[in-house]
Structure 1
């Protein structure tokens, strides 16, 4: 869990700019981050770098679900990742880094650990 008193939160954009089922890319510290909002309003932030292809494209991924698990599929090779944990659901041992994300006022913020 991130200590909210010492964490460095970076403002990304107004929440309305993160459309449901779409991704937004942002630079947080020195990391490219992909931010997603699901239809139920939940926000998730993961590394924008596809760990298999090595390209910064995850913000262009296909948002969906497997059962109750919110997911994004890589736009390149279609591997599916759990947005909550970053774990790849198709390839064992592969994952993307996740980032804490929140809304303050109307601004989406991501924690730059």
Structure 2
């Protein structure tokens, strides 16, 4: 059964960046595109390079949708659901994320 787990304080994630958290043995990348409380959480594992790097990817907007570009092979993953723009068969898992009393929480 999944439950919400506190990861860090919101202020510890700078706007326009991502961080990585280890939740239940899984590396999860948490992205904060703007200065508000809007967050996204995806698997941190790039399925093309098989490396733990997505949290260090570049957040970008394409066709009014937010994506993260892998720092290794540059494939883009939609922040809202982990779908890969270049190859949907190689998409990554997405996770519910929220801010509660100033703390970032992941449900995994």
TM-score calculated relative to the size of structure 2: 0.93
Misfit runs of 4+, over 3 Å: none
Q: Determine the structure 1 residue equivalent to 2:92.
A: 96
Distance 1:110 1:19 in 2: 17
Unaligned stretches of 5+ in structure 1? Answer: 1-5
Q: Determine the structure 1 residue equivalent to 2:9.
A: 14
Q: Determine the structure 2 residue equivalent to 1:77.
A: 73
Bigger strand share: 2
Number of aligned residues: 107
The answer as to whether partners of 1:21 and 1:64 remain within 8 angstroms in 2 is: no
Cα shift readout 1:7-48 (whole Å, capped 9, x = no counterpart):
411111100111111011000111100000112632000000
- Give 1:85 deviation, angstroms: 1.1
Unaligned stretches of 5+ in structure 2? Answer: none
Q: Determine the structure 2 residue equivalent to 1:28.
A: 23
Distance 1:75 1:17 in 2: 22
CA RMSD of aligned residues (A): 1.2
TM-score calculated relative to the size of structure 1: 0.89
Q: 1:66 aligns with which of 59, 62, 65?
A: 62
The DSSP-based 3-state class of the residue aligned with 1:16 is helix
